[in-house]
């Protein structure tokens, strides 16, 4: 009764706000499938029947065109909570792997595209290792599998490799190969805005009613809430909302990505009224998560985007932000002071969490000193980290860089940063040759990556974050490929040059 109207409100807000690059019939089909998936999740009480029903709906309703299937994956990735359960095996194998809702979407929407012929009616697909990004992705995944396989048996190593192939490589490969134009990138951004709009309305209800509605799905399926979140947590009298994400800060990160997509696709909106309406919606929804790391990322997205598109607006926005913080800090209004106390760097409402993060960093550095290059497979068993075990019985590694360092040392951190910074460099070089709407899309991706690198300093790779991260990597690689196909490779290497001349025609696929 409460959730479905909020879903409809998010859909209607998206539908009436702009001329989005998706047909009206396609929007209606997406709306109906989202409502059907949500209704099934609340009605069906058997996990395997529910997963089978969702898989069947997606296979029957999803478009055949690869770029649109990618958009569907982006839209429906966050339609339901994580919903994790072991997939039982046969014979001596106790279980095959965990089946999660996002993994089901990958198997149903993206994996079939892995097996399309290299040349098909939708065009010619780039072979693997013909993209300059491929080798960095491969290097990261091989390194991660190698350091994570220490101390595991042969079956576990195979299972881990299959999981990495499905969750990370398949997402990267399919998105980077089947998004071939800036219009298709804009369509993916529109899908991100649509999903975020729905979750934003749901977050408002969660905060207003102090009621996590999606928890009922776990109760209905008999799945216990675990370290993936969904627990009730208040800060300054506000329920920290999480919607389908489970963990509030990850929902806040999602709104940050959506804000970048909104800035990049602003010209699709019918008027500034809708732009500011969506902006207010994402700001308020992000506020309900009460996640300072996500708030910092939100500000980074706005400032980075304005820095590359309008220096005057960048300066004005920065000044207004500083004045607003000073005003809040000197105000005697209790409501304004309450907001000020929640702000990062200035407020004092999170002293406990700040102390924990400082202690985590200090203890983790001590652990990493003993295994500086490759980390240690048993880092959770060390006395330094055992001191950080919390009431839920978990050691919360609230920092992705620390997580990488503990598991794989400096080598794994280096491989991750090498990939992300290389993508960032290629996008910034591509931006020099682009103008208008195409340039906005590229700048939007740049702002997302920079904000993501900032935000993961305050959250580990749990719940939906790793899936969102590889979605970003795939879209960024696709943008690089589109630019290379239009302009060739020589312009992307011209760091000191200005606007490059457009090549006479698109290449069949870019070479490294």
Q: What's phi and psi for 500, nearest 5 deg?
A: -80, 155
More confident residue, 307 or 358: 307
In a domain, 194, yes or no: yes
Give the list of residues 6+ apart from residue 305 with CB closer than 8 angstroms, or none: 260, 263, 264, 443, 444, 447
Q: What is the mean pLDDT of residues 363-368?
A: 88
pLDDT value at position 201? 95
390 in Cβ contact with 428 (< 8 Å): no
Q: What is the mean pLDDT of residues 311-325?
A: 90
What is the rounded distance in angstroms from the CA atom of residue 79 to the CA atom of residue 315?
A: 37
Listed residue (264, 321, 314, 315) closest to 296, CA to CA: 321
In a domain, 316, yes or no: no
pLDDT value at position 227? 56
Assign 353 a pLDDT band (cuts: 50, 70, 90).
confident
Q: What's phi and psi for 371, nearest 5 deg?
A: -140, 60
In a domain, 467, yes or no: yes
Q: Which domain holds residue 83?
A: 3-309+431-478
pLDDT digits (tens, 9 = 90+) for 454-490: 999 989 888 899 999 999 999 999 999 999 888 775 4
pLDDT value at position 422? 97
Give the list of residues 6+ apart from residue 4 with CB closer than 8 angstroms, or none: 35, 38, 39
pLDDT value at position 506? 35
In a domain, 501, yes or no: no
Q: What is the mean pLDDT of residues 205-209?
A: 90
What is the rounded distance in angstroms from the CA atom of residue 253 to the CA atom of residue 286?
A: 8
Lowest mean pLDDT segment, chosen from 151-160, 186-195, 408-417? 151-160
pLDDT value at position 369? 87
Q: What is the mean pLDDT of residues 263-279?
A: 95
pLDDT digits (tens, 9 = 90+) for 1-14: 788 899 999 999 99
Q: What is the mean pLDDT of residues 438-457?
A: 96
pLDDT digits (tens, 9 = 90+) for 76-131: 999 999 888 888 777 666 677 889 999 999 999 999 998 887 777 777 788 888 88
pLDDT over 70 at 501, yes or no: no
pLDDT value at position 512? 28
Neighbours of 315 (CB within 10 A): 12
Assign 44 a pLDDT band (cuts: 50, 70, 90).
very high
What is the rounded distance in angstroms from the CA atom of residue 511 to the CA atom of residue 131?
A: 6
- Can you say whether the dihedral through the CA atoms of 326, 330, 334, 338 is positive or negative? positive
In a domain, 399, yes or no: no
pLDDT value at position 331? 77
pLDDT value at position 228? 59
pLDDT value at position 511? 33
369 in Cβ contact with 361 (< 8 Å): no
pLDDT digits (tens, 9 = 90+) for 383-393: 788 778 776 66
Assign 359 a pLDDT band (cuts: 50, 70, 90).
confident
Residue in the block written with tokens 């702009």 = 18
In a domain, 488, yes or no: no
Q: What's phi and psi for 360, nearest 5 deg?
A: -60, -45
pLDDT over 60 at 504, yes or no: no
Lowest mean pLDDT segment, chosen from 14-28, 265-279, 451-465, 486-500? 486-500
Lowest mean pLDDT segment, chosen from 156-170, 254-268, 319-333, 455-469? 319-333
Helices within 210-348 (DSSP H only): 215-221, 248-264, 272-289, 292-309, 311-330, 334-342
Q: What is the mean pLDDT of residues 177-205?
A: 95
pLDDT value at position 265? 95
pLDDT value at position 507? 35
What's the structural domain count of the chain?
Answer: 1
Listed residue (289, 281, 248) closest to 12, CA to CA: 281
pLDDT value at position 129? 85
Average pLDDT of the chain to the nearest whole number: 87
pLDDT value at position 495? 36
Strand partners, 97: 87
Q: What's phi and psi for 99, nearest 5 deg?
A: -100, 120
CA-based diameter of the chain, in Å? Answer: 69
What is the rounded distance in angstroms from the CA atom of residue 104 to the CA atom of residue 85?
A: 12
pLDDT value at position 486? 82
pLDDT digits (tens, 9 = 90+) for 227-244: 556 778 888 778 899 999
pLDDT value at position 423? 97
Q: N- to C-terminal Cα distance for the chain?
A: 54
Assign 347 a pLDDT band (cuts: 50, 70, 90).
low
pLDDT over 70 at 317, yes or no: yes
pLDDT value at position 223? 83
What is the rounded distance in angstroms from the CA atom of residue 56 to the CA atom of residue 192?
A: 23
pLDDT over 90 at 338, yes or no: no
Q: What is the pTM of this model?
A: 0.91
Three-state SS annotation for 131-150: CCCHHHHHHHHHHHHHHHCC
What is the rounded distance in angstroms from the CA atom of residue 80 to the CA atom of residue 467?
A: 14
Assign 439 a pLDDT band (cuts: 50, 70, 90).
very high
In a domain, 330, yes or no: no
In a domain, 298, yes or no: yes
């Amino acid at each position: 009764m409460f959730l479905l109207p909020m879903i409809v409100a998010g859909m209607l807000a998206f539908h009436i706000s702009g001329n989005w690059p998706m047909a009206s019939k396609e929007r209606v089909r997406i709306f109906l499938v989202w409502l059907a998936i949500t209704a099934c999740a609340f009605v069906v009480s058997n996990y395997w029947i529910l997963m089978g029903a969702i898989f069947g709906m997606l296979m029957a309703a999803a478009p055949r065109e690869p770029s649109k299937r990618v958009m569907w994956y982006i839209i429906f990735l966050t339609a339901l909570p994580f919903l994790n359960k072991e997939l039982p095996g046969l014979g001596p194998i106790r279980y095959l792997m965990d089946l999660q809702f996002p993994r089901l979407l990958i198997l149903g929407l993206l994996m079939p595209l892995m097996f399309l012929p290299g040349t098909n009616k939708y065009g010619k697909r780039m072979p693997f290792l013909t993209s300059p990004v491929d080798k960095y992705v491969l290097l990261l995944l091989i390194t991660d599998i190698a350091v994570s396989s220490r101390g595991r048996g042969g079956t576990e190593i195979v299972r881990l490799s299959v999981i990495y192939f499905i969750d990370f490589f398949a997402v990267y490969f399919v998105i980077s190969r089947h998004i071939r134009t800036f219009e298709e990138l804009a369509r993916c951004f529109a899908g991100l805005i649509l999903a975020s709009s729905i979750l934003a309305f749901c977050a408002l209800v969660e905060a207003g009613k102090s009621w996590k509605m999606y928890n009922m799905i776990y109760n209905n399926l008999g799945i216990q809430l675990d370290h993936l979140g969904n627990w009730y947590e208040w800060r300054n009298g506000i329920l920290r909302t999480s919607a389908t994400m489970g963990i509030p800060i990850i929902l806040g990160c999602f709104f940050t990505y959506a804000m970048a997509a909104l800035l990049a696709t602003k010209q699709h909106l019918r008027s500034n009224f809708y732009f500011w309406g969506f902006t207010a919606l994402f700001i308020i929804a992000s506020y309900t998560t009460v996640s300072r790391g996500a708030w910092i990322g939100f500000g980074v997205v706005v400032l980075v985007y304005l820095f590359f598109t309008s220096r005057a607006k960048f300066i004005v926005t920065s000044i207004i932000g500083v004045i607003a913080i000073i005003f809040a800090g000197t105000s005697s209004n209790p409501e304004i002071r309450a907001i000020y106390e929640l702000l990062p760097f200035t407020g004092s409402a999170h002293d406990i969490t700040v102390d924990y993060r400082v202690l985590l960093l200090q203890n983790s550095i001590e652990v990493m000193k003993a295994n500086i290059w490759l980390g240690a497979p048993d880092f959770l068993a060390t006395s330094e980290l055992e001191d950080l075990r919390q009431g839920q019985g978990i050691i919360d590694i609230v920092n992705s860089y620390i997580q990488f360092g503990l598991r794989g040392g400096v080598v794994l951190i280096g491989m991750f940063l090498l990939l992300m910074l290389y993508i960032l460099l290629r996008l910034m070089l591509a931006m020099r040759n682009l103008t208008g709407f195409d340039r906005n899309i590229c700048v939007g991706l740049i702002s997302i990556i920079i904000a993501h690198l900032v935000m993961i300093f305050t959250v580990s790779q749990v719940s939906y974050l790793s899936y969102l991260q590889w979605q970003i990597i795939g879209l960024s690689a696709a943008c690089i490929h589109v630019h290379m196909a239009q302009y060739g490779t020589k312009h992307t290497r011209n760091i000191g040059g200005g606007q490059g001349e457009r090549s006479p025609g698109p290449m069949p696929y870019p070479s490294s």
